[in-house]
Amino acid sequence: MSRKRISLRQELPLLVWLVVVWGALWRDFSPGNLLFGALIAVVVARLFYLPPVELGGRFNVLRAVPFALMFLAKVVAASFQVLYLAAAKGPKVVSAVIAVPLRSHSDLLVTATGHVTALIPGSLVVEVDRSTSTLYIHGINVRNADDAAQLRKDVRDTEAGLIRIMGTKAELSALNQEVGA
């Protein structure tokens, strides 16, 4: 098998996640159990080989915590917005499908943006164009061009936040230039 070896550092997030799941399923976080879990995680990662996720190589915790809190607030807002729209507008709600071109071309960031977009208010990913990294988003309660522009800006802001957390250095500097300009 002539697969490219992936370094331990690149695999580490996956291994840590597997160990956490193992501990959580056993509901036992004693060192012995965690060590055994780590052993199984390594064996599983070797046997059931998956193409490595190409991480940006950095993770900014200081940016991640406010983003996570913001995300939680937006999930709450999304649910109440749906409740309001269902109760008040009902069958008369108007929506739109809009294209949002993203800055990043990395699969990880496009996926993460799509996930977050699907969970924040009024947007849902319908189609992804990987070659141009464009998300086609179904927005609820988008009545006119202004609403569409606002939704597009929201999605791009989400992506900017994710780039600040875990984008590559090149993407980050491109983003900083864009904001500065």
Contacting residues toward another protein, per CB under 8 A? 20-21, 23-25, 27-29, 72, 75-76, 78-79, 82-83, 85-87, 90-99, 114-115, 118-119, 121-122, 124-131, 136, 138, 140, 142-145, 147-148
Tell me the closest approach of the beta carbon of residue 160 to another protein, in angstroms.
19
- By C-beta, is 103 or 138 nearer to another protein? 138
User: What letter would DSSP give residue 6?
Assistant: -
Tell me the closest approach of the beta carbon of residue 95 to another protein, in angstroms.
6
Is 61 exposed, middle or buried (CB count within 10 Å of its CB: 0-12, 13-18, 19+)?
A: exposed
Helix (H, G, I), strand (E, B) or coil at 95: strand
User: What letter would DSSP give residue 56?
Assistant: -
User: What letter would DSSP give residue 138?
Assistant: E
- By C-beta, is 86 or 170 nearer to another protein? 86
Tell me the closest approach of the beta carbon of residue 2 to another protein, in angstroms.
25
Whole-angstrom distance, CA of residue 121 vs CA of residue 42: 39
Tell me the closest approach of the beta carbon of residue 9 to another protein, in angstroms.
23
- By C-beta, is 69 or 170 nearer to another protein? 69
* Element of type H or E holding 88: none
What's the angle, vertex CA 104, arms to CA 99 and CA 96, rounded to 5?
15
- By C-beta, is 8 or 84 nearer to another protein? 84
User: What letter would DSSP give residue 122?
Assistant: T
- By C-beta, is 55 or 175 nearer to another protein? 55
